[in-house]
Amino acid sequence: VDFRSDNVSGAHPAVLEAIVAASRGATSSYGADPWSERVTARLGRVFEREVAVFPVTTGTAANALALATHVPPWGAVYCHREAHIHVDECGAPEQLTGGAKLIPLEGAHGKLDAGTLAASIGGRGIVHAVQPAAVSLSQATEAGTVYRPDEIAAIAEVARRHRLVVHMDGARFANALVTVGCTPAALTWQAGVDVLSLGATKNGCFAAEAVVLFAPDKAEELGFRRKRAGHLVSKQRLLSAQLEAYLTDDLWLANARHANATAQRLAAHFAAVGLTPLVPVEANEVFVSVPAPLAAQLRERGFSFYPWSALGPSACRFVTAFDTRPEDVEALGAALRHAQI
């Protein structure tokens, strides 16, 4: 049973069926197709305003393109020190911005806070320093926690004062959304987010993410940047079909609710044997300190999970997904109860 990541899952059947249906016949390429038009219109309804939507195949591309469109080569991007853009994208944001500097900040449980951000911003107008340009928030965070609208708004207020663009890395946006229980608008532009990397791959798509611009004035530039970066997919309808299926009948929310609920169940099994999660479980990731003999027994019984040294020498990460089977979570619970330690 594989709890290493939500990327170990395949795609949801409805998404795969949508790809098969969309691939019949011929249609215009490079995004001038009905699927792409419908996805933009639908996301406009989801976010309750006009949006510009740029489908891409990876979250790294979405993040790097979103930042590149708003940050000059001499810009500074403030982010959490665990942020995916900082530690897991091989310098793609730096490359596509043409050399902007990512400034990693501390923050409990993977979250930035407004005070730390305000205290870290500096160098405006000084020719020797990179210029404050953006703040990037991961929603949900790399520690499996979520930002509430008031926390985002407080950060965005600091950003506004310092003329920073607010970027949200929403690789797990749906997981955060169902936890907070507000509208997608309240969790983004109404709280001050300017540009969103809307993830879908982890939560049921095959390979589909989208840069969502809440201020369409950057749309033309982003279009050129996406092409230049090699991320304008000629058969874009097959990406948009995934996104359409993802949003249809609220599949994205149902998938996220399932993943989050199974994570809660997993956390309860750990807590029942005295292993309280190291970070509040607010999305689909559980971080727990597993003594080495117990970890070895779990692995012997066929459970896989990653060690997570950032949280301590015996810390481990367990991730659930849209297709995590409840019986597999119960099997882990039973293995924990019967373990010999």
Ligand X SMILES: Cc1ncc(COP(=O)(O)O)c(C=O)c1O
Task: Note the residues at the interface with ligand X (CB under 6 A).
Answer: 58-60, 84, 138, 142, 169, 171, 201
Nearer to ligand X, 93 or 131 (CB): 93
Nearer to ligand X, 4 or 299 (CB): 4
Nearer to ligand X, 69 or 297 (CB): 69
User: What DSSP designation does 320 have?
Assistant: -
Compute the least distance from the CB of residue 11 to ligand X, in Å. 14
Q: What is the distance between the alpha carbons of residues 290 and 161, in angstroms, rounded to a whole number? A: 44
How many residues in total does the chain contain? 341
Nearer to ligand X, 82 or 244 (CB): 82
Can you list the alpha helix ranges (DSSP code H) found in 121-250? 149-161, 173-180, 219-228, 237-247
The pair of structure tokens assigned to 31 is 């995004």
Handedness of CA 89, 93, 94, 95 (dihedral sign): positive
Residue 208 CB contacts under 8 Å (≥ 6 apart), including other chains = 55, 57, 200, 201, 239, 240, 242, 243, 246
Residue 154 CB contacts under 8 Å (≥ 6 apart), including other chains = 113, 114
Compute the least distance from the CB of residue 211 to ligand X, in Å. 12
Compute the least distance from the CB of residue 42 to ligand X, in Å. 22
Pairing of strands 315-319, 285-289: antiparallel
Compute the least distance from the CB of residue 110 to ligand X, in Å. 9
Nearer to ligand X, 201 or 262 (CB): 201
Nearer to ligand X, 56 or 158 (CB): 56
- Binning the chain into helix, strand and coil, the percentages to the nearest 5 are 45, 15, 40
Q: What is the distance between the alpha carbons of residues 57 and 148, in angstroms, rounded to a whole number? A: 28
Which CA distances in Å does 194 have to 164, 198, 264, 265, 324? 10, 12, 31, 35, 33
Nearer to ligand X, 36 or 138 (CB): 138
Nearer to ligand X, 80 or 258 (CB): 80
Compute the least distance from the CB of residue 201 to ligand X, in Å. 6
Name the residue with the smallest CB distance to ligand X: 59
The pair of structure tokens assigned to 187 is 């969790």
Compute the least distance from the CB of residue 281 to ligand X, in Å. 16
- Edge-first strand order for the sheet with 195-198 is 52-56, 209-213, 195-198, 165-170, 131-138, 75-80, 101-105
Compute the least distance from the CB of residue 271 to ligand X, in Å. 25
Compute the least distance from the CB of residue 188 to ligand X, in Å. 16
Nearer to ligand X, 18 or 205 (CB): 205
Nearest to 102 by CA among 69, 142, 133, 124: 133
Compute the least distance from the CB of residue 91 to ligand X, in Å. 13
